Amino acid sequence: MSEFIILYEDAEALVINKPGGLSIDTPRKGGPSLEARIDELKLGFQRPPQAAHRLDTDTSGCLLLARNPKALVRFNKAFEQRLVGKTYLGILAGIPEAKEGVIELALSKISSEDKGWRMIPAKKGKPSLTRWRVLAEVNGRALVEFSPETGRTHQIRVHAASGIGIALLGDPVYGEKAGFARTMLHASRLEIGRENKPPIVAEAPMPPDFTVLGF
């Protein structure tokens, strides 16, 4: 597997461009994971860094890693307090009538024997909000910029399918896999402010499986 691309680096933080299909934790069924390769990211430090937030296995792009325990606590708190700016790019499996909007759908986790676990809109679920706008339309598909203000599990995927009404391309849970290797979602930008230090700002370039579709 190829080397990690470092998007940002200083004494307390790394931001890597996580490849789509790479799990952060070692999967129960086996397979590649960031956890198994974390020593590659020591980069001269004695201890390996730790992920400060989560990205789905399929999702590519900006992943923030803390290089020491104190930084990890601060970064975790910033995510919990919604002080982190996050921008995602996703390809919808269709073109929505509206070209921008705000989705507010509370989300709850359910599980069944035949379908496993997934998130659904539910009045008693956890509040979640996503702003979105269409950036481009190619071959009956739309490239959308998503700006989530909350960080619920599968938030963008459910908001696309149930809020916009069109699932992300290749999403096997909330849409259709349709022959694609992964759900087409990319964490394109991350920004986090810090006291007495410049903010962490990282941008991940458009992944090849997006550009091959004309975006």
CA atoms within 13 A on the CB side of 131: 5
Q: Is 78 left (phi over 0), alpha (psi -120 to 50) or beta?
A: alpha
Distance from C-alpha of 29 to C-alpha of 8, rounded to nearest angstrom: 32
Answer whether 40's CB lies under 8 Å from 3's CB.
yes
Distance from C-alpha of 137 to C-alpha of 152, rounded to nearest angstrom: 27
Please identify every residue annotated as catalytic: 56
b/e per residue 88-116 (b: at least 16 CB within 10 A): bbbbbbeebeeeeeebebbbeeeeeeeee
How many other CB atoms are found less than 10 A from the CB of residue 210? Answer: 21
Distance from C-alpha of 51 to C-alpha of 28, rounded to nearest angstrom: 19
Query: Whats the size of the chain, residue-wise?
Result: 215
Distance from C-alpha of 102 to C-alpha of 148, rounded to nearest angstrom: 10
Distance from C-alpha of 182 to C-alpha of 21, rounded to nearest angstrom: 7
